[in-house]
Chains A and B, each alone.
Chain A
Amino acid sequence: MRVGVITFPGTLDDVDAARAVTTAGAEAVPLWHGDADLRGVDAVIVPGGFSYGDYLRCGAIARFAPVMGEVVTAARGGMPVLGICNGFQILCEAGLLPGALVRNSGLHFVCRDQWLRVENTTSAWTTRYDRGAEILVPLKSGEGRYVADEATLDRLEGEGRVAFRYVGENRNGALRDIAGITDERGRVLGLMPHPEHAIDALTGPSDDGLGMFLSLLDTVVTA
């Protein structure tokens, strides 16, 4: 199976995202922001970084890139999409996920290994986890505070769409400790922490992040 990894000007984590895809056993396909072409991939990862320098708002310019039009169409058709960090911000700006990511409440850029609790084990990206499992993955962001209005937060909780929550300290002030959410169908996942940096213990704090990429393989292969 083929998993596209988008590169925008200012993307940083496309190489690690592609490595995670390869480690999980799939083919990583580079996608270019300027090409309105998904090259026949089965899923797309929107990786982290500082697309377009985070000018205006994080993700505000990237959402209009030619490739994103294709991603939005494919996602609405059910293609699995994973947005990590800046990718999460882009998916929110693009309207594929509700809410927004704003500046950390303490103003500090947070860079640490972060414990998360897995709350959704039915989405395309989370079936390999046990519900309630705690995983350790890097978090590195200055605008990672998830916000949405109360009605939206209640809906996300009620529909089981909060995929990951911060455990212990919530350094960015995200409402209800939300680290990651899914769309209505559980095909699109956005999260601030970086599973692609935690795929083996040699280069990351754990291999806990690999489960997201293995979950995707299960989802696509059994589809």
Chain B
Amino acid sequence: MARVVVDVMPKQEILDPQGQAVAGALPRLGFEGVTSVRQGKHFELEVDDDVDDETLERIAETLLANPVIEDWTVRRVTVESADGSVAGAV
């Protein structure tokens, strides 16, 4: 098994009112200095070892993200289990 992380973000040119709302809330809570917030989605997939990169890219493109409005990145991450052994490829 491998863990795959897919991060999906609204494209730069797409207005992100949710991110703006978060940015607007921070000063009201006393947090200064945050000039911009953009909000996206973070997916963690546990996949069998025989699922190749091309398939992962298709999964991201066809379902997890809408290419019209969103950009995405796919990456495999290392998972450390409770006994200290390391699984997955970087």
Chain A residues with CB under 8 Å of chain B are 56-57, 60, 64, 92-93, 98-100, 102-107, 145, 147-149, 173
The answer to whether A103 touches B68, judged by C-beta atoms less than 8 angstroms apart, is no
* Cross-interface CB contact of B17 among A64, A104, A148, cutoff 8 Å: A104
- Is B29 positioned at the interface, with any CB of A under 8 Å from its CB? no
* Cross-interface CB contact of A56 among B10, B63, B68, cutoff 8 Å: B63
Chain B contact residue count (CB 8 A cutoff): 12
- Is B14 positioned at the interface, with any CB of A under 8 Å from its CB? yes
The answer to whether B15 touches A100, judged by C-beta atoms less than 8 angstroms apart, is no
- Closest B-chain residue to A95, C-beta based? B68
Measured CA separation A98–B69 after assembly (Å): 11
Q: Which residues of A contact B21 (CB under 8 A)?
A: 107
Q: Which residues of B contact A148 (CB under 8 A)?
A: 68
The answer to whether B63 touches A102, judged by C-beta atoms less than 8 angstroms apart, is no
The answer to whether B69 touches A100, judged by C-beta atoms less than 8 angstroms apart, is yes
Q: Which residues of B contact A102 (CB under 8 A)?
A: 10, 14-15, 69
* Cross-interface CB contact of B18 among A60, A92, A103, A145, cutoff 8 Å: A103
Q: A60-B63, A100-B69 are in contact. Are A147 and B14 (CB under 8 A)?
A: yes
Q: Which residues of B contact A145 (CB under 8 A)?
A: 15
The answer to whether B15 touches A60, judged by C-beta atoms less than 8 angstroms apart, is no
- Is B66 positioned at the interface, with any CB of A under 8 Å from its CB? yes
Between A and B, 9 residue pairs with Cβ closer than 8 Å are: A64-B63, A100-B69, A102-B14, A104-B17, A105-B15, A107-B21, A147-B14, A147-B69, A149-B13
Q: A92-B68, A100-B69 provided; 7 other pairs, C-beta below 8 A?
A: A56-B64, A98-B68, A102-B10, A102-B14, A107-B17, A148-B68, A173-B15
The answer to whether B69 touches A107, judged by C-beta atoms less than 8 angstroms apart, is no
Measured CA separation A145–B16 after assembly (Å): 11
